[in-house]
Amino acid sequence: MSEWNATSYEGKDNLLRIVKNEAAAFFEMVDMPENWEKPTASGHWQVRDIVGHLVDTTEGYLERFDTTRSGTVAEALAPLTDMAKVADERALAFRDVPRGELLTRLKDDYSQAMKMFEETGEEDWGGFVVTHGYMGPMPSWFYPVGQLMDYGIHGWDVREGLGLEHFLGPDVADMLVPFAYIVWQATTVPSKRGDGDLDIAIKTTGHNGGTTRIKVTDDGMTYEAGSEEGAQAVIELDPASLVLHAFGRTRGGYVSGDMDAAKRFANCFFRF
C-alpha cells in the first residue's frame, strides 16, 4: 500500500499527517509546567531533555538541508556508535535555557521543518540527498521519518515516564515497521550473536505486515521478505511491539522454534 511507504512520494501526505498528530500530542504534554522535570523512558532524560534533543535534531535537519542546497556537503557529527553519547551531551546542554524559550524554539523549528517537507517535490523526495548527523547520506524522505521517530517514540517515552495509560499509536507503528529492520541492521554487533550464525523469521501484521527473514553473520545483518520455513526461530510481533523492540524500549513477542537462537538475536544490537 503506497500510502504506507514513506520512501514513496505517494506516502508523503500520510507520513506528514501522522507526524503532525504525534507532534500535537507531544506539545500538549510538554506544555504542562509540572511535567518539565519528570522522568521519561528515555534513559536518564527528563521531559525537558527530550525537548532539547528535538531542538538539536530539528535544527540540524534545517541547517543540513540549507547547507546541501548551497552546494556544500554537510559534515557528520559522529558515527552511529557514538550517537547516544553525543546526542546526550547536546540535549543536556539545553538545560540552562528557560522552559518558555526552549518550547517556543522547538515549535518554531517544527513549523519550519514541516513547511520544508511539505514543499519537497516528487523528484527531491527520493533524489535530494542530505548528510545525516550520524547516519551519513540520506534522501529527503528520511528526515520526516526521523521526525516521526522523534515525536512518536519520544512521545511514548514521555507518556511512559508520566505513568499514563497509553499505547504506541497504531499509525506510528505501521509507518515505522520497515524502519525497525533498518535500525536493527545499523546497530548490529555480529560478535554479540554468540555461537554460530543466525537465521530468524520475524512475522508482523498491519499495513506493512508480512514475514521478514533475517540473517546475522560475521558480515553483519541482512534481511528480506521471505517465509518462516527453515528458520531457527520465528518471532511474532505486532507492529507496535516490533517498533518498540527495535528501538530498545520493550522486549516482547511470541517465539517458536529455537529459544536460544531467538535470545541470541535479541542480544545482537547496541542501543543508540
Q: 104-129: per-residue pLDDT in tens?
A: 999 999 999 999 999 999 999 999 99
Q: How many CB atoms lie within 10 A of CB 255?
A: 17
In angstroms, the CA 243 to CA 101 distance is: 32
Q: Is the pLDDT of residue 88 over 80?
A: yes
Q: 203-238: per-residue pLDDT in tens?
A: 999 999 999 999 999 999 999 999 999 999 999 999
Q: What is the pLDDT of residue 50?
A: 98
Return the H-helix or E-strand segment holding 254. strand 254-257
Average pLDDT over residues 42-69: 98
Q: 161-200: per-residue pLDDT in tens?
A: 999 999 999 999 999 999 999 999 999 999 999 989 999 9
Q: Is the pLDDT of residue 132 over 80?
A: yes
Helix-strand-coil split of the chain, %, nearest 5: 55, 15, 30
If pLDDT is split at 50, 70 and 90, which confidence band does 1 have? Answer: low
Which residues, in sequence order, are CB contacts of 3 under 8 Å at separation 6+? 10, 11, 13, 14
DSSP state of 72: -
Q: Is the pLDDT of residue 271 over 90?
A: no
Burial of 41 (0-12, 13-18, 19+ CB in 10 A): middle
**CA terminus-to-terminus distance, the chain:** 30
Cβ atoms of 256 and 233 closer than 8 Å: yes
Q: What is the pLDDT of residue 272?
A: 82
Average pLDDT of every residue of the chain? 97
Question: Helix/strand/coil (H, E, C) string of 145-204?
Answer: HHHHHHHHHHHHHHHHHCCCCCCCCHHHHHHHHHHHHHHHHHCECHHHHCCCCEEEEEEE
Average pLDDT over residues 240-258: 96
